Structure 1
Amino acid sequence: MIKISGHLAIRTIQGRNGAFNVGRLSTSIGEFVIKDAVLEQHVEGKYRGEFVITEIRASSYSTGGRLVIEIRARLDSMVLEDLDALTAYDNAQIDTQSPDPLDEEQPVPTPPRKARPQPVRPARPASSPASPADDNAPFGMPVSPAAAPVTPAPDVDEADQELFGTVWPLGETVRLDSTVDRQRLRQQCQRLSELGYAMDFKSQAWNRAA
């Protein structure tokens, strides 16, 4: 584990799954590609701060008929201090053809559920005695069929509760868990923006706008 100061350039790229973030960390010991899920919460820009690196490894991908080899670093945590706009050099150092990390994370297949055997029910008689409600129908008028039960639409709060899980209920300040799957984290960030929250990169938390 290494704790080191540096600059993290984050660029937002549009992919087939939507927008995603890719970072490039510049330090005194080298430059590294960052694709950790924690980047999904931040806006595009160049951040200065301190970073805790737990792993450095080589990785590769192919795109457009070329093979790209990159050195990736995995972050344990970071403390960000300043934010500036990306320079032309920063943009040039981050490959816009970089694959979406979501595509690289292969989901674990879920085994299919076994169908439960249905109990055998006795055959229903052809005719059954009229219910007491049928006796109240006007003479000569057909009996109205029972109204089918209407399933209520899912409540918005229930959908949000399912999305945010242990983070629910949302307060004035929300701190997301970046260890959840990347797709859920993206949906949480999008929903927080819709609800009027903004990310504070210094506190690493979402605050409700006044």
Structure 2
Amino acid sequence: MIKLENVTLRVKQIRGGRYGDFCVGELFHECCELKVKDSLLDQFEEGEYHGTVWISRIFLHQYIAFGKAVTEMRATLHDMQLDSASDAPVETELAEPDPLLESPSLTSQTPVWSAPLPAPSTESKTEGSTRLGEQMRERIERIKRNPGQPTQAIAQASSVEDVGQVDTPDLPEVLREYWDQIRGLQPVKLDPTVDRSMLREQTKAIGQLGSYKFVFQDQTWHPK
């Protein structure tokens, strides 16, 4: 793991892509300049962010886009601790290609440095499923105890579902894992390790609720 302090992460939003808007980043440090195209950036607003990052991998990446062959040094982020933000300067350079469209047949990745990867584990998924089941059972028990008086969380659930049905019909399904948190107006931290297209859909859906705002300091959606 490499820790870099006093870095500037410049996030640029590319609009109107085939699979929706997406973000790419540039990492500036006194020792290096690196491209960052991790999926977690898709939750960020365009701008410059300052703080500390932990890098798990640095590699040379090549791809073909807009009739050109591009070679760049990329970094894979393990974690970030961002303290402040500012507006990024307006750039007029050619738009970046969507990472979802990078075909393996047209790209190559040459490792420069990478941290040892831990053994895969299903513990977190199992714990998440168990926790969700327990929360569902608790909510059902509350309804049984007060059949004529819905709790505040259930009332909020109704309004959230109504918003989803009017604006984004697929919202409940996309955010199914976070239903209980949203209905209780609790902070929601999306999982950046899921499929990138899914994370984009979740980001769009929770943003359209109108009751949540992304806080870059802890990369979590908080109720307004």
Report the TM-score, using the length of structure 2 for normalisation: 0.64
| Equivalent position of 2:194 in the other structure | 180
Aligned equivalent of 1:162, options 167, 170, 173? 173
Aligned equivalent of 1:102, options 67, 79, 100? 100
Query: CA–CA distance in 1 between the matches of 2:218 and 2:64?
Result: 37
**1:8 counterpart letter in structure 2:** L
| Equivalent position of 1:204 in the other structure | 219
| Equivalent position of 2:87 in the other structure | 85
**1:12 counterpart letter in structure 2:** Q
Displacement after TM superposition at 1:52 (Å): 0.3
Query: CA–CA distance in 2 between the matches of 1:96 and 1:207?
Result: 34
| Equivalent position of 2:133 in the other structure | none
Displacement after TM superposition at 1:43 (Å): 0.3
Query: CA–CA distance in 1 between the matches of 2:176 and 2:186?
Result: 17
Using a 3 Å threshold, how does the CA distance of structure 1 residues 84 and 13 change in structure 2: closer, same or farther?
Answer: same
Alignment length (residue pairs): 158
Query: CA–CA distance in 1 between the matches of 2:192 and 2:45?
Result: 15
Alpha-carbon displacement from aligned partner over 1:96-136 (angstroms, at most 9, x marks no partner): 43210112377xxxxxxxxxxxxxxxxxxxxxxxxxxxxxx
Partners of 1:46 and 1:83 within 8 A in 2: yes
**1:13 counterpart letter in structure 2:** I
Partners of 2:19 and 2:197 within 8 A in 1: no
- Which runs of 5 or more structure 2 residues have no equivalent in the other structure? 105-160
| Equivalent position of 1:60 in the other structure | 62
Structure number with greater Rg is 1
**2:190 counterpart letter in structure 1:** L
Q: Secondary structure at the match of 1:173?
A: coil
| Equivalent position of 1:128 in the other structure | none
Aligned equivalent of 2:18, options 12, 16, 19? 16
Using a 3 Å threshold, how does the CA distance of structure 1 residues 53 and 105 change in structure 2: closer, same or farther?
Answer: farther
Residue 7 of structure 1 pairs with residue 4 of structure 2: no
Partners of 2:174 and 2:205 within 8 A in 1: no
**2:3 counterpart letter in structure 1:** K
Query: CA–CA distance in 2 between the matches of 1:205 and 1:54?
Result: 21
Displacement after TM superposition at 1:18 (Å): 2.0
Alpha-carbon displacement from aligned partner over 1:46-81 (angstroms, at most 9, x marks no partner): 000100000000111222332111000000000111
Partners of 1:42 and 1:201 within 8 A in 2: yes
Pairwise CA RMSD: 2.3
Query: CA–CA distance in 2 between the matches of 1:60 and 1:96?
Result: 17
Using a 3 Å threshold, how does the CA distance of structure 1 residues 64 and 159 change in structure 2: closer, same or farther?
Answer: closer
Query: CA–CA distance in 2 between the matches of 1:105 and 1:37?
Result: 16
Displacement after TM superposition at 1:28 (Å): 2.3
| Equivalent position of 2:147 in the other structure | none
Alpha-carbon displacement from aligned partner over 1:157-202 (angstroms, at most 9, x marks no partner): 8954431243332233111111111111111111111111110111
Using a 3 Å threshold, how does the CA distance of structure 1 residues 105 and 187 change in structure 2: closer, same or farther?
Answer: farther
| Equivalent position of 1:46 in the other structure | 48
Which structure dedicates a bigger proportion of its chain to helix? 2
Displacement after TM superposition at 1:208 (Å): 1.8
- Which runs of 5 or more structure 1 residues have no equivalent in the other structure? 107-153
Residue 195 of structure 1 pairs with residue 193 of structure 2: no
